[in-house]
Structure 1
Amino acid sequence: MAALMHAGRATYAFFERNWNLTKRYLAWEVVWVIFNIVNSLSVTFIGLSAKQFAPQMVNHLILTFLIGSSVWTYLSVTFEGVTDMITIERWEGTIEHTFMAPISRFTHLVGSCWYAVAHGLLFTAVQLLVVCAFFSLDLSHANYLSAIFIMLLGSISFIGMGIGASILPLLFTERGTQMSFIVRAVLLLVSGVYYPIDVLPVWMQYMAYVSPATYVIQGLKEALINGASIWSPVMWANTWPLIIAGIVTIPVGIYIFGIAERYAKRTGKLKRNG
């Protein structure tokens, strides 16, 4: 019990530390909130313009674009939770101190991921409140419980992918951050954020099937547009891939991170900051 309480306090310590780092770079938080709101509005206005061609499809298109842009914001912030903190610690020159702390790497990464989920939810909530104020949406059939469930489930698998991607800034200070952006851009392209995945070339559709974002977006559409319940077959079709992805990506991500950490320590790469 004492060991469990110690791990819990250590996990919260990383949550609090990441919050303090976020406050230190608060101006960038404001920049990204405004950028994501403007991006979401720009995309969603495309759906509103459809009333010139198919008035009966306007609400569906607006919700589709709003869901896509909002989910992408949430999953991106969650994905970046560990990656950005590694980058910031490289810049600050504190990463060696973190690695010397008497806690397991699992506790370290889970604490950062816990903060990433909370950060992503807050980010997305602000974006949704602002964007929804511009549109009259029909959400009478929405199942909000299913929507929250699928988002939280999806964030688990994205956290695993984020842990794996965080080895890039761990090993390569500036280039690693650039490479992690490329990873997210590819996920954006193949996950059907703004369009059905069946419009993609066949070889890209195979990539879509392994992206957790694909199932989160499809599940949210079913929950918010069609009111699907958590236990409905259509929701289960999007739930089980996310469960498998979470089970696989988190331990694999932590294992790969451990290998990269040992390599970085052995080769002196942690001293390369700034």
Structure 2
Amino acid sequence: MRRTDVVASPAFSPRRVGAMVLRYWYLLRGSWPRLLELAYWPTVQMILWGYINQFMATSSGWVAQGGGVLVSAVLLWDVLFRGQLGVSISFLEEMWSRNLGHLFVSPLRPGEWLLSLMAMSLLRTLLGVIPAALLALPFFGYSVFGLGLPLLLFFANLILMGWSLGLVIIALILRYGMGAEGLAWIVTFMLAPVSAVYYPVAVLPGWLQAVAWALPSAHVFEGLRAVVYDGAMRWDHLAWAVGLNALYMAVAVGVFLYGFHRARVRGALLQTGE
């Protein structure tokens, strides 16, 4: 009869805990998007609310005169965020279900898929924003629909910018894998301090103003304040927003198609999943 000696492991082992911590640390250290996400929220919140505080302290009378400016700004900012997230989430749902490879053994072309992502993003955005806009009237006595035609133009520019960001995020996920999926939730908000959502671009330091004017969102929100405060449409800001969106959309589509092509060559469409 053979005797087998079984060595019982201790009920609690600090070494096992340390080994798992080391494993997760290697995962974190090896993914720059995860590291970025750690510092992102505290930094962006501090910068954003710091500038809001600075603007409110010096311009409280101006804010009081524009009764719906903050409500309108919040709703339009959500258009940008949901436009980007709608593209990214539809893509991520394919990644989580490991369905991306199956899609592209069918006759589906990347351009057709791209249009479907944009259409789904528009639907998600409308379903999310319209109820909130309707509730602003009974809760705050303000209707964002009173902006008229400018509202439609602001909406179109912000959702186009969101789509551009979403396509770049997809390309990054295809390149770096699911470790980069956190970018879908943080990239848009990284632009919030320089998008001048709740305060004019003039509040920013000079070097940041140059960055802000390179974003369609800053021109949209400057145009929004002009409509609310002065009742005038700033067509110069609209023209800048349209031009920048056209440029960024062209770049984003190119980055997306290149990233998709490289992922297909590497076989990443079949290997990446949840």
TM-score exceeds 0.5: yes
Could you tell me whether the CA contact under 8 Å between 2:76 and 2:158 is conserved in 1?
A: no
For 2:166, the equivalent position in structure 1 comes to 162
Could you tell me whether the CA contact under 8 Å between 2:168 and 2:255 is conserved in 1?
A: yes
Name the aligned partner's letter for residue 156 of structure 1.
L
For 2:226, the equivalent position in structure 1 comes to 222
Match of 2:98 among 79, 93, 101: 93
Q: 1:143 to 1:196 in 2, by over 3 A?
A: same
Could you tell me whether the CA contact under 8 Å between 1:90 and 1:173 is conserved in 2?
A: no
For 2:118, the equivalent position in structure 1 comes to 113
Could you tell me whether the CA contact under 8 Å between 1:154 and 1:213 is conserved in 2?
A: yes
Name the aligned partner's letter for residue 64 of structure 2.
V
SS at match of 2:191: helix
Name the aligned partner's letter for residue 81 of structure 1.
G
Mapping 1:62-141, distance limit 5 Å: 62-137=67-142
Identity between Structure 1 and Structure 2 (%): 21
In structure 2, how many angstroms separate the alpha carbons of the residues matched to 1:98 and 1:186?
A: 32
Query: Whose radius of gyration is greater, 1 or 2?
Result: 2
Q: TM-score, normalised by structure 1?
A: 0.70
For 2:272, the equivalent position in structure 1 comes to 272
What is the CA-CA distance between 1:139 and the residue it aligns to?
7.8
For 1:171, the equivalent position in structure 2 comes to 175
Mapping 1:23-62, distance limit 5 Å: 57-60=63-66, 62=67
Name the aligned partner's letter for residue 122 of structure 1.
L
In structure 2, how many angstroms separate the alpha carbons of the residues matched to 1:165 and 1:255?
A: 13
Name the aligned partner's letter for residue 127 of structure 2.
L
In structure 1, how many angstroms separate the alpha carbons of the residues matched to 2:89 and 2:137?
A: 29
In structure 1, how many angstroms separate the alpha carbons of the residues matched to 2:201 and 2:257?
A: 34
Kindly provide the CA deviation profile for residues 32-68 of structure 1, in whole angstroms up to 9, marking residues without a partner as x: xxxxxxxxxxx9xx99xx9xx96785351x4221122
Name the aligned partner's letter for residue 186 of structure 1.
M
Q: 1:103 to 1:159 in 2, by over 3 A?
A: same
Match of 2:206 among 202, 206, 210: 202
Could you tell me whether the CA contact under 8 Å between 1:198 and 1:205 is conserved in 2?
A: yes
Could you tell me whether the CA contact under 8 Å between 2:194 and 2:208 is conserved in 1?
A: yes
Kindly provide the CA deviation profile for residues 205-235 of structure 1, in whole angstroms up to 9, marking residues without a partner as x: 2221122211222222333443335xxxx2x
What is the CA-CA distance between 1:265 and the residue it aligns to?
2.2
Could you tell me whether the CA contact under 8 Å between 1:83 and 1:169 is conserved in 2?
A: no
In structure 2, how many angstroms separate the alpha carbons of the residues matched to 1:157 and 1:102?
A: 29
Instruction: Give the gaps of 5 or more residues in structure 2.
Output: 1-48
Q: 1:151 to 1:259 in 2, by over 3 A?
A: same
Instruction: Give the gaps of 5 or more residues in structure 1.
Output: 1-42
Superposition RMSD in Å: 2.9
Matched, 1:187 2:191: yes
What is the CA-CA distance between 1:129 and the residue it aligns to?
2.0
What is the CA-CA distance between 1:155 and the residue it aligns to?
1.9
What is the CA-CA distance between 1:89 and the residue it aligns to?
0.8
